[in-house]
């Protein structure tokens, strides 16, 4: 890509925006540590070893200040360095039964001495352009400050819930550790408990995790890379249990598999954490993790009542997202079963998206009971093919891209779309608790 000119204030120079190669990515550790001083050295080691290996990093390459004599990266000269970056971490997301690839944006940062010069705006616009060409349905992020991302069409789609140990926690009679060497405070190593039936909907776990719950509760210290095949089977069984739990309660979530669990274990270990499987009989009933090299905090807690309970009213906005390619997103949206007897309909839709020109403008949104799709409408007036069946044409709907995102994810219905809530089945139930 051609170099970009920046001439705002005292900043006059030529810059290049491009994706970094694998060797160049490692040179960003210094910028990461400057931007995120709260991260431990161990977490940084984990991130740059595990996550940077398969992500993309879009960077703005500028000139090095005079006197800075550090060795350049493979594609850098002695006069250039990365002044701003966005990490695009790929995830496989389940969205109403479909598996999508979507990028989680992390490590969004600009060097301290280069801020407020429009660098990040240039990176975000380039990133959205590239993702649009790839037909990615949406991307998401955990904002440090939502005000940074709102001008780019991002909006909240997920409130993080608070889960606590429930009244039935004491009935759990077995535990296996996937990470960590110490038992959490209050856990009894040996415990005689009466048999307790697992509630309806619990799935029996097979394979290596189907072990007798009455044996010693000593922690199992498993270190990734030295794990046995038994441990790998255990990871797979826990991943399958997590997917069943997520599918039961949510429509949007990251798909778990053995590789996901392996990486999660390494992430938790980097912050001196523990990851525990809790059993009732020989069935998994809950999964719990605590971490933190300073103050300990809950990393996750999954499970059904009565073992795990959700505390209502304590949800906090956590994840923002942006629809990138509306025509790739809407196939998961359809008419409600009780849609006034309608089997299908068409909505003239005007999308306001000044930052992605391919999205801006008039569309015909066709919906039935199973799916929906968008068709470009070039003319302002309805074409003859729609005039012949005007009964199926709904009133025109105009939405900004952030309104469309919040509505279709089931997070918030804008005033403009309130009349369509009885007709259209948007998504409901988002769960995105990934950290990086």
Give 136's DSSP letter. -
Strands 397-400 and 344-352: parallel
Tokens linked to 26:
């490692």
Strands 430-431 and 252-254: parallel
For the whole model, what pTM was predicted? Answer: 0.86
Strands 138-141 and 297-303: unpaired
Q: What is the pLDDT of residue 1?
A: 41
Residues 243/289, Cβ–Cβ less than 8 Å: no
Distance in angstroms (rounded) separating the CA atoms of residues 340 and 144: 43
Q: What is the pLDDT of residue 230?
A: 86
Q: What is the pLDDT of residue 96?
A: 98
Q: What is the pLDDT of residue 188?
A: 37
Q: What is the pLDDT of residue 393?
A: 87
Give 137's DSSP letter. -
Q: What is the pLDDT of residue 190?
A: 29
Q: What is the pLDDT of residue 309?
A: 98
Please write the tens of the pLDDT for every residue from 396-408.
Answer: 999 999 999 999 9
Distance in angstroms (rounded) separating the CA atoms of residues 85 and 37: 16
Q: What is the pLDDT of residue 203?
A: 30
* Spans in the chain with pLDDT lower than 70: 1-13, 65-78, 181-227, 380-392
Contact residues for 129 (Cβ-Cβ < 8 A; gap 6+): 356
Residues 323/408, Cβ–Cβ less than 8 Å: yes
* Largest separation between any pair of C-alpha atoms in the chain: 77
Q: What is the pLDDT of residue 178?
A: 83
Q: What is the pLDDT of residue 100?
A: 98
Please write the tens of the pLDDT for every residue from 251-296.
Answer: 999 999 999 999 999 999 999 999 999 999 999 999 999 999 989 9
Q: What is the pLDDT of residue 72?
A: 52
Q: How is 373-434 classified by DSSP, letter by letter?
A: EEEE--SSSPPHHHHTTGGGBPPPEEEEHHHHHHHHTTS---GGGGGGTTTEE----EE---
Q: What is the pLDDT of residue 39?
A: 97
Residues 404/412, Cβ–Cβ less than 8 Å: no
């Amino acid at each position: 890509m051609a170099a970009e000119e920046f001439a705002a204030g005292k900043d006059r120079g030529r810059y290049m925006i491009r994706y970094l190669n694998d060797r160049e990515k490692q040179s960003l550790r210094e910028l990461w540590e400057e931007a995120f001083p709260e991260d431990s050295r161990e977490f940084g080691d984990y991130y740059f070893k595990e996550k940077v290996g398969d992500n993309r990093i879009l960077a703005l390459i500028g000139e090095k200040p005079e006197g800075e004599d550090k060795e350049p990266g493979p594609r850098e000269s002695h006069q250039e360095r990365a002044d701003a970056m966005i990490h695009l971490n790929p995830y496989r997301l389940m969205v109403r039964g479909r598996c999508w690839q979507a990028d989680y944006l992390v490590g969004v940062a600009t060097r301290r001495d280069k801020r407020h010069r429009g660098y990040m705006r240039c990176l975000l616009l380039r990133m959205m352009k590239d993702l649009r060409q790839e037909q990615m349905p949406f991307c998401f992020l955990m904002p440090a400050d939502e005000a940074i991302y709102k001008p780019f069409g991002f909006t909240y789609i997920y409130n993080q819930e608070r889960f606590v140990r429930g009244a039935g926690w004491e009935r759990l009679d077995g535990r296996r550790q996937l990470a960590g060497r110490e038992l959490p405070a209050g856990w009894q190593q040996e415990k005689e408990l009466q048999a307790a039936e697992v509630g309806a909907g619990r799935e029996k776990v097979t394979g290596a995790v189907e072990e007798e719950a009455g044996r010693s509760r000593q922690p199992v210290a498993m270190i990734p890379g030295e794990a046995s095949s038994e441990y790998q089977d255990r990871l797979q069984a826990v991943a399958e249990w997590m997917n069943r739990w997520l599918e039961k309660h949510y429509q949007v979530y990251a798909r778990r598999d053995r590789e996901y669990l392996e990486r999660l274990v390494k992430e938790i270990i980097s912050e001196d954490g523990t990851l525990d499987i809790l059993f009732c009989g020989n069935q998994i009933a809950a999964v719990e993790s605590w971490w933190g090299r300073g103050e300990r905090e809950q990393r996750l807690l999954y499970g059904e009542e009565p073992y795990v309970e959700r505390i209502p009213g304590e949800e906090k906005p956590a994840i923002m997202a942006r629809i990138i390619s509306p025509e790739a997103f809407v196939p998961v949206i359809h008419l409600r079963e009780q849609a006034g007897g309608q089997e299908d309909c068409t909505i003239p839709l005007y999308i306001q998206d000044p930052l992605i020109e391919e999205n801006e403008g008039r569309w015909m949104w066709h919906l039935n009971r199973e799916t929906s799709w968008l068709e470009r409408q070039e003319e302002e007036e309805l074409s003859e093919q729609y005039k012949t069946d005007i009964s199926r044409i709904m009133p025109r709907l105009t939405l900004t891209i952030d309104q469309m995102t919040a509505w279709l994810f089931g997070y918030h219905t804008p005033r403009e779309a309130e009349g369509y809530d009885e007709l259209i089945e948007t998504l409901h139930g988002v769960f995105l608790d990934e950290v990086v």
